Amino acid sequence: MYNTISLFSQPYYDPCSQCYLNIVTMNLPPRGPLHKLTRRIKIYPLSEFKEPSNCTRMQTCGLGLRSLRFLNGFGGFGVSGNNSQSCSDLMSVDEIPDLFTFLLANGYTIDTRITKMMNQSSIRYNTNNSNELIALITYQPIQPIQPIQPIQPIQPIQRK
């Protein structure tokens, strides 16, 4: 597991609903609470014209994020709410504001400087999957707050 990972928006074909979704994926397994939201996914070709070949490397599996809608108060997953549009529990890009709130509350920093640099660069990465960089994030475990020790009253100076 790594401390710094990249989050991507990636088109994804959901075979159950037979719909195309834009989901949140990552390049590496994360440390910290985000690990509980991660699962391996099979990446289906987006069209018959986007198939792997000797000249084109295609990613056929990856790491997807589960939707925060499925996270219950005990850190597990359960069906909460109506998910009739899709049988997928994957996070859509519509949940990115909620994801950022979750990340910041759980000891992650969002590196806007490197994210901006990568998005402005002419160098592109793995565009065969049509993914787009959302952010680079780093996990720094939150240190428990130490209780404040009561201030001892100042002892008067004794004069001789």
Residue 31's φ and ψ, nearest 5 degrees, are -90, 165
State the average pLDDT over residues 51-74. Answer: 72
- Joined together, the tokens standing for residue 157 give 């100076």
Of 143, 139, 153, 158, the closest CA to residue 36 belongs to 139
Give the distance between the most distant pair of CA atoms in the chain: 96
User: Which candidate, 55, 7, 51, places its Cα nearest to that of 27?
Assistant: 7
pLDDT digits (tens, 9 = 90+) for 80-134: 444 444 567 899 999 999 999 999 999 999 988 877 777 777 766 655 566 888 9
Nearest to 66 by CA among 79, 51, 54: 79
The token pair at 48 is: 């018959």
Q: Other CB atoms closer than 10 Å to residue 19's CB: what's the count?
A: 12
Bridge partner residues of 152 (DSSP): none
Residue 60 has pLDDT above 70, yes or no: yes
**Per-residue confidence (pLDDT) for residue 85, from 0 to 100:** 45
Domain boundaries, the chain: 4-139
- The pLDDT tens digits of the residues spanning 11-56 come to 998 888 888 889 999 999 999 999 999 999 988 877 666 565 666 6
Residue (of 90, 44, 40) closest to 68 by Cα position:
90
